[in-house]
Chain A
Amino acid sequence: QKEVEQDPGPLSVPEGAIVSLNCTYSNSAFQYFMWYRQYSRKGPELLMYTYSSGNKEDGRFTAQVDKSSKYISLFIRDSQPSDSATYLCAMSYTGNQFYFGTGTSLTVIP
């Protein structure tokens, strides 16, 4: 069983839709959770970071962590064509070595 599971998609939504991206994990010791965005032919870049459980909001993006269910989510409100990318979840128990999901490919259609 993989440490981190993520639905690869692809996901296609109309502009303005609310997008929900999710990851599940098996290691209950994970306490650092990150979401990265990766545009085509580029390296991933950090989008959101949360520690332990709870929600974190940054503009149109909200990250949620439910440690009891071993489930994390990223919500994108009012999605834009510029949000079209692959979204990777990543998690760690030490903060040094991160385990990545496989990535979900998102396309926002104008």
Chain B
Amino acid sequence: DVKVTQSSRYLVKRTGEKVFLECVQDMDHENMFWYRQDPGLGLRLIYFSYDVKMKEKGDIPEGYSVSREKKERFSLILESASTNQTSMYLCASTEGAGPYEQYFGPGTRLTVT
């Protein structure tokens, strides 16, 4: 079974803090994605990566950056957390450049106070 793990299930941070969300997949998948999920807005793509050291902006990249130094690990960085970044963050991975199933992690619920 593919497993996608996220470093924290719940996280509380203060406004202005730098926040790191880590995602690790164990199936040698090439593509990795970061979404945020908000009531009434659904899943929105923040960033994705097709390969190590490669990244592409999704629909809502503002206020976020990402890092992919190793194939299995994809990090989402909030440079200066703000209250409007309070959300559920979901990481996903897929096998290759095709319409493959996205395997999701359990999510990190981030609260910025």
Chain A interface (Cβ < 8 Å from any Cβ of B): 4, 6, 8, 32, 34, 41-46, 49, 51, 88, 90, 92, 95-98, 100-103
Contact = CB atoms under 8 A, between A and B. Distances in A.
Interface of B: 4, 31, 35, 40-45, 48, 50, 58, 90, 92, 94, 97-102, 104-107
Contact of A49 (B31, B45, B101, B104): B101
Given A6-B42, A102-B41, A95 B99 contact: yes
10 contacts: A46-B101, A46-B102, A51-B99, A90-B102, A95-B97, A96-B48, A97-B58, A100-B35, A102-B41, A102-B42
Contact of B107 (A6, A43, A96): A43
Contacts of B104: 43-45
